[in-house]
A and B are shown apart, each in its own frame.
Chain A
Amino acid sequence: MNNISIKIAGPAGFGIKVTGQILAKVFLRLGADVFAYTEYPSLIRGGHNTYQIDISDTDVSSPSEKTDILIAFTSEALSKEINNINNEAIVICDEKITLDSRLRENDKVVMAPLVEIAKNAGGELMKNTVALGLLLKILNLPLEKANEVLADTFGNKGEVAEQNKKALKEGYEWTLKHLNTKTLKHLNIFLNSLKLLKDKNNDGLLITGNQACALGAIAAGCQIYSAYPMTPATEILHYLEAKQKITNMIIHQGEDEIAVIHSALGASFAGARTACGTSGGGFALMTEGLSLAGQLELPIVIFEVMRPGPATGLPTWTEQGDLSFVLTAGHGDFPRAVLAPGNPADCFKLTQTAFNIADKYQIPVFVLSDKFLGESAYSISAEIFDKIELIDRGRIIKSLKQLNTKTLKSDTSEIFARYKLENDGVSWRTIPGVDNGEHMCSSTEHNENGLRCGEYICNSDEHNEVGFSDEVNEVRKKMVDKRQQKLIELQKKIPLPKIYGPADAEMTLVCWGSMLGPCLDSIKIQEYKNKKINVLHFSYIYPLPNSLDKFLKEFKKLVLVENNKTAQFGKLIRQEIGLEIKDKILKYDGRPIWKEEIIREIEKLKN
């Protein structure tokens, strides 16, 4: 794997992200595989923001621990990043900033009049575009691609577009005039790797996990998305809000997360495909609604995009710390499903699956991701987004005609039983407006047909309902069993985790959700050393597949990789199948696990 890592660093408000995105797209359009990772504190101005782009000739799905090229806009940015650059790195900064004494002799520092050139082009703000131009020439990349992306970003006409174009060109020319790129050691390696790109087709898209989840929801026919802003889940809300005129979705920003989930449930009851989304803190508020969904047997999809807790924690950083919470949230026993995609392709696919599971089993389903997956941009093939799963709304009755053709009538003698005890635990449900299916969606315990003394005639316009409050012991027991049966049925359908890498591995990295990328990239580093390591990735977290215990016995040595302190997934495995994975690589400093770290930890485990 040939890899270059470029980082842009500076305070918030310097346009770090926009510049990074433009550069990432230039590489994408050149046919490269790109991974873009951002770090930023929870503030609007100042602080230390970075946008890191890893470019590769093969799949890349995680950031490198250290970068080869650093663009630092301020002295502070430079000193904060100085320990994160590789040996012989290229450092680009403005000529006026104070250099850090920790720079090594063989680091190539390019001090350019970024601000001055930007001012000439139209304004200091464009120093990032100047730096971009400068870098493009250093890497010997054509200007056209960058101009294309600039035009897509700032438009074709107008002052801003013109100025940026000028800034880009002048940056480029500065390198041409002032820099002997031949003296840049290591550059040849970069350039060689870039040459490889030329053979690749470029139908690539650069997309974040959050965006892919949002697209998955649209493709799944989700009609209402209900949310309250909370980083790092907010991008889903922003995206869907912005697209509502195209998608025809209703996006509801509720007054708090309690309202958000209850509105989603109201809409689900009324027959709409519905989702809500938040991060851990907001989900804490949703838990009573989750329990309500369990009792009402209403389908709902919940996006939980994790960030480090407890409490407000680290709002803009990453962790897989809410798994245990999501698994047990909500009072009482009721079934749920938890899916954790490993990359945007998975986000798109599993989100659609989540909606189908929710409808089919009439249960709440989680799509569990985190800041790392949610906000990092991955390059993936556009074809992924052609793969649409057939929408399965499950046992839903939307018209009187449909109701009459169901077997309900004969089974229950003219009574529509919303919570009828079917063998698989899933009952038919009607939706309001259907004039023969009035029922009560009751959060207190209800009996099966509730209408022992009811007078409901199926064929007429007038009807009785089901779901009367009932506290009889047998009814209670049957209802609990009915609901739990759905989990048993679902479990039969859950696929085994996916194996990546050699089949006959000596060691297997066990991971879930977003840690797929770092694990995959780490075994690629290892490939060169011919180590027999593979990756076992779980995206179906709960319920776990039936034959998992047997399946896991086939592996020689399991090493658990999780982005949290207490190995929450490891605990789940132990709880469900009694297997303890003793060797663990755990990280919980708000950053994802770097592939290099995984290798170092593996080496330690071997000793």
Chain B
Amino acid sequence: MSSQKFTPQFYTTSYLPTWCPGCGDFGILAAIKNALSELQISPHSIVIVYGIGCAGNMNNNIKCYAFHSLHGRTLPVAVGVKLANKNLKVITVAGDGDYYGEGGNHFLHTARYNADILSIVCNNRLFSLTTGQSSPTSEIGMISKTTPYGEIKQPLNPIALSLAAGATFVARGAAFEIPHLTDLIKQGLEHKGFAHIDVFQQCVTFNKTQTVEWYKEKIYKLEEAGHDTNNFKAALDKSLETEKLPIGVFYETEKPSYEDGFEQLQGKPLVEQKTNYAKEELMKEFM
């Protein structure tokens, strides 16, 4: 490791994280830097698009090209970046409220496009930056500032949704299982196409139900359970489990990515090309 140019510390900026001590986002940050380091990806070829929330506040903490976008909008920004420069590694980091709620439509469609993007969702099952309100992944009965009598809406199932929408790499990690999460992120980065990693993230301040202990009792690793990651139906079955909660890769498959579908992008990235104003040819139809 010491011979490596890009150590995890290399990706660390001088700006200290602003999370509560014990927040799961620390673990996710560490896993991202580990994965980038292990793959030796140089910071200038990485774009991370961040959402708005505690998770999105990671924007100050990783040395690379960062785009702190709006609440819910990481994915369309990432799609634009990727279309402009297909050579970049494009990652999104956002919370569950941001990604599944405000940005839910983008999630479905970017998965469908199979744009070559890795999405990491810091899923603490709450809106935390806004001091603890119910989110699309809050369980029925969850007490929060907007559900003082308990949540009455069903939570959505990120993994099942992702599979149904057409994501070509679908995984779940846990913020407190850093080596495991690092490995998932590495796989996601190496995957060509839309990779989605939902991450169980403890919010020590507002979520007193889904704590690290609570998760540790429930989780098990798919790779240890003999799960076939190429089997879509098996992946769907696994995504529906609620008693025990599987982490690991649910599903992966190869499909052409969105950018690869464009003939214009077969060679150089778009930013290195020129638009062709072929006047004579373009004028013909107007004569």
B44 CB contact (under 8 Å) in A243, A268, A438? A438
Inter-chain contact A432/B88, CB cutoff 8 Å: yes
Bound Cα distance from A221 to B274, whole angstroms: 7
Q: B287 an interface residue at 8 Å Cβ cutoff?
A: yes
In Å, the complex CA distance between A269 and B68 comes to 11
Report B99 CB to chain A, min CB distance, Å. 14
Q: Does B65 lie within 8 Å of A223, measured CB to CB?
A: no
Interface stretch (choices A91-99, A110-118, A461-469, A513-521): A461-469
Q: Which among A267, A272, A454 is the interface contact of B13 at CB below 8 angstroms?
A: A454
Which single residue of chain B is at the shortest CB-CB distance from A252? B83
Which of B109, B271, B275, B279 contacts A270, CB < 8 Å?
B271
- Residue A124 at the B interface, CB < 8 A? no
Interface pick from B72-80, B143-151, B237-245: B72-80
Q: What's the Cα separation between A141 and B43 when bound, in Å?
A: 69
Contacts of B43 in A (CB 8 A): 438, 462-463
CB neighbours of B66 from chain A (8 A): 438-442, 465, 467
Beta-carbon nearest neighbor of A291 in chain B: B70
User: Which listed residue, B45, B77, B88, touches A262 by the CB 8 Å rule?
Assistant: B77
B190-198, B224-232, B261-269: which lies at the interface:
B261-269
- Interfacial chain B residues near A207, Cβ < 8 Å: 286
Given contacts A263-B76, A265-B77, A444-B68, A454 and B14 within 8 Å (CB-CB) = yes
**Residue from A226, A272, A438 in contact with B63 in the complex, judged by beta carbons closer than 8 Å:** A438
C-alpha spacing A47/B275, complex, angstroms: 41
- The answer to whether the Cβ of B278 comes within 8 Å of any Cβ in the partner chain is yes
Cα A289 to Cα B109 with chains together (Å): 18
Q: Does B59 contact A (CB under 8 A)?
A: yes
Q: Which residues of B contact A270 (CB under 8 A)?
A: 47, 80-81, 84-85, 88, 271
Taking the closest CB of chain B, its distance from the CB of A314, in whole angstroms, is: 27
Q: Is A259 an interface residue (CB 8 A)?
A: yes
Taken together as a complex, chains A and B put the C-alpha atoms of A562 and B84 apart, in Å, by 39
A250 in the interface (beta carbon within 8 A): yes
| Given known A-B contacts A223-B270, A274-B80, A451-B14, A218 and B69 have beta carbons under 8 A apart | no
Is B220 close to A, CB under 8 A?
no
- Contacting residues, chain A, for B274 (C-beta < 8 A): 221, 248
Q: B residues touching A (Cβ–Cβ < 8 Å)?
A: 5, 10, 13-15, 42-47, 49, 52, 57, 59-60, 63-70, 73, 75-85, 87-88, 105-106, 108-109, 262-265, 270-271, 273-279, 281-283, 286-287
Interface pairs (24), CB distance under 8 Å = A223-B271, A246-B276, A247-B277, A248-B273, A248-B274, A254-B79, A258-B106, A265-B80, A268-B80, A269-B67, A271-B271, A288-B73, A386-B279, A398-B271, A432-B45, A438-B43, A438-B63, A438-B66, A440-B68, A442-B59, A443-B69, A451-B14, A467-B66, A468-B15
Partner-B contacts on A (CB < 8 A): 25, 28-29, 204-207, 211, 215, 218-219, 221-224, 226, 243-250, 252, 254-256, 258-260, 262-274, 288-289, 292, 296, 382, 385-386, 388, 398, 431-444, 450-451, 453-455, 461-465, 467-469
Nearest 9 CB-CB pairings of A with B: A266-B80, A263-B80, A270-B84, A262-B76, A266-B77, A259-B76, A435-B44, A255-B109, A267-B80
